[in-house]
Structure 1
């Protein structure tokens, strides 16, 4: 049997009639940028997350870039962020000229909140929390530190649509919440897409301006902005998927529960879930020694996998200028050598889950 790492068309086929009806409606209307679909999606998504405002953005990276720009974070400023995140989080900081200050992850793969305060300096302007792999971060300590040191809080929720901390959805804690709707995300569109959530009217107004060439109204440009708008077609399709997101999330949780309960291989370290932190299982990430050998074994047995992520940002060529070397963040680096994502996607078949569990359990190193 072959089990792919991810298949997107099965979920499409499940709601095919709704998607196609929406796509045709948008195409036939003849209005494709910043229209009713975007406005309705923004309203529905802000209600879903629990914020006053939402802005549709063209992708998750630009959501981060615009977030830090709108918070006036730039050259000479420092932003505290976990070391094991995807590089887009770091790019959102550095594209604005600010400097990322890395903190090691905890056993739940999120930022170790007990190691944040020691990194705060007079240059620190914000903390960027990443709800990694789909699990909410423990937010109480983060909020306490932001208040104590007058810091801005940016949430990178690219992998955590609908995740909650103590019953409150991620993307509603910070000054700004940033989302990606890349097709493989739990709330994925049919191309690139993203969003920003906030409760601050001034931030909302500024990002609304920045995403459209820095214009308050057409041809009246207040700042040098971006072309970073979510289009009507993607917004319409996202509205369809958002209406089903809770059931899609529950499906992923059931798959994860099977893995957690039935993978019994002592060589495999299963993901852990923190108290009060819900998990929406964008990824199911195990850790294992000699990861590459295990990945090859799974590949030889027809099980697709992906490494999220093999090179930490501080060791990437893109960030050589920061001056870090191997060994500077040993936990981050260890995770990068051990993590492996196994198949978890909507409409995965029971026999495929059975097979993944069987093959993982048979591995002997």
Structure 2
């Protein structure tokens, strides 16, 4: 039995008629930039997340940078974040001139909130938690710390569409949040895309200027921005897929629960879901002993898996400037040697999930 890790080809066949209708609807109008389709997606996404403003952008990375930019965070400032994320989290902080300050993680790979206050210095301006794999960080504690120390909270919510913590949607806790609509996300566009949310009217105003060169009108530039607009076709596709998001998350959650019911050994750790969490499972990341051998074993049985990611952010070559070394963040480092994402997308059958789980058990001799 073949079990693919990615379902984009399957998803196209499933959605083909609707996607082609999206293309026709947009292209037939002859307008492709900052059209009504973008406005409608922003309004619908804001309602879904339960925030005042959503601004469509060209990537989650730009959403992070623009949130930092809009809050005046830059050279000489520090932003507390986690070493377990995609490189864009650190990259956004660096690109605005600030310095990332890493705090180690808990067993679920999210930031260890008990270690945040010790990392605060007079230069700290913000906390940037990452809702890794679609599991919301402990935002109650993070927001209390931020309030106590007068810090901005910018959520890296790239993987959190469809995820909740104590009934609140990811990205609705902090001052601003950044979302990715990359093709591998639960809510995905046809290519790179993203958006930012906020309840701050002034930040909303600034980011809408930033995304289109700082132009209030064609001949009136009030500040120097960039080109980071969500294009109309992706907005139309995201409108359609937003309607299906809950069903997609529900199916992924079903698949993960099936894995949990079959995989029965301590050699592969699956972070438990706490009662206050509702994980959207953008990725289903386990922590496996003999990770690389298990990955090869699964591949020999036509099962695709993915190391996601094998290097914590502070140990990348580009991060050498921050002066951290191996051993400084031991929990994250140990996890990165074990992480393995198993296929769990919504187009897999119960038989396929069962097949993978049984092969995992067989590898460990169960």
Query: What TM-score, normalized to structure 2?
Result: 0.97
Partner Cα separation in structure 2 for residue 8 and residue 102 of structure 1: 34
* Cα deviation 1:26-72 (Å, max 9, x = unaligned): 01111101001000000000000000100000011111111111111
Match in the other structure for 1:295: 295
**Which residue number in structure 1 is paired with residue 99 of structure 2?**
99
* Other-structure match for 2:38: 38
Instruction: For structure 1, list consecutive stretches of 5 or more residues without a partner in the other structure.
Output: none
Match of residue 322 from structure 2: 322
* 1:73 counterpart residue number: 73
Distance 2:67 2:281 in 1: 25
State the shift of 1:17 in Å: 1.8
Equivalent residue number for residue 129 of structure 2:
129
Aligned match of 1:358: 358
- 1:283 to 2:280 alignment: no
Q: Are 1:11 and 1:346, in contact at CA under 8 Å, matched by a contact in 2?
A: no
Per-residue CA distance 1:203-247 (angstroms, 9 max, x = gap): 000000001111222232222211000000000000000011111
Whether the aligned pair in 2 keeps the contact of 1:271 and 1:284 (CA below 8 Å) is: no
Residue 13 of structure 1 corresponds to 13
Q: State the distance in 1 between where 2:300 and 2:324 align.
A: 36
How far does the alpha carbon of each residue in 1:113-143 deviate from its partner, in whole angstroms, 9 at most, with x for none? 1111111111000000111111111111111
Alignment of 1:1-365 (within 5 A): 1-364=1-364
- Consecutive unaligned residues of structure 2, counting only runs of 5 or more, are none
Distance (Å, rounded) in 1 between the aligned partners of 2:47 and 2:82: 28
Cα displacement (A) at 1:162: 1.6
Deviation of the 1:9 alpha carbon: 2.2
Give 1:274 shift. 2.9
Aligned alpha-carbon RMSD (Å)? 1.1
SS of alignment partner, residue 116 of structure 1: helix
Q: Which secondary structure state, in structure 1, belongs to the residue aligned with residue 127 of structure 2?
A: strand
TM, length-normalised to structure 1: 0.98
Query: Quick one: distance in 2 between partners of 1:331 and 1:194?
Result: 30
In the alignment, the residues of structure 2 paired with residue 77 and residue 273 of structure 1 have an alpha-carbon distance, to the nearest angstrom, of 35
Instruction: State how far apart, in whole Å, the 2-side matches of 1:332 and 1:266 are.
Output: 19
The alpha carbon displacement at 1:11 in A equals: 2.3
**C-alpha separation in 2, matches of 1:17 and 1:36:** 22
Following TM superposition, the consecutive aligned residue runs of length 4 or more in structure 1 with deviations greater than 6 angstroms are none
Instruction: Give the conservation status (yes or no) of the 8 Å contact 1:10–1:346.
Output: no
Task: Provide the C-alpha distance between the structure 1 equivalents of 2:188 and 2:238, rounded to a whole number of angstroms.
Answer: 7
Residue 63 of structure 2 contacts residue 179 of structure 2 at CA under 8 Å; is this kept in 1? Answer: yes
2: distance between equivalents of 1:344 and 1:218? 46
How far is the alpha carbon of 1:348 from its aligned partner?
Answer: 1.0
Asked whether the equivalents of residues 265 and 363 of structure 1 are also in contact (C-alpha less than 8 Å), the reply is no
Output the CA distance in 1 between the equivalents of 2:178 and 2:88: 11
After superposition, give the CA deviation of every residue in 1:289-319 in whole Å (9 maximum; x if it has no partner): 2211111111112110111111111111111
Q: Deviations over 1:313-346 (max 9, x none)?
A: 1111111111111111111111110100000112
SS, match of residue 278 in structure 2:
coil
Mapped contact 1:137–1:277 kept (Cα < 8 A): no
Kindly indicate whether the alpha-carbon contact (under 8 Å) linking 1:265 and 1:362 is maintained by their aligned counterparts in 2: no
Report the 3-state secondary structure (helix = DSSP H, G, I; strand = E; otherwise coil) of the residue aligned with 2:293.
helix
- Following superposition, the deviation at residue 12 of structure 1 comes to 2.7
Between the aligned partners of 2:229 and 2:269, the Cα distance in structure 1 is 41
- Identify which range, 270-279 or 296-305, moves more after superposition: 270-279
Contact 2:59–2:192 (CA under 8 A) maintained in structure 1: yes
Alignment check: 8 A CA contact 2:159 2:282 kept:
yes
**Conservation of the 8 A alpha-carbon contact between 2:259 and 2:354:** no
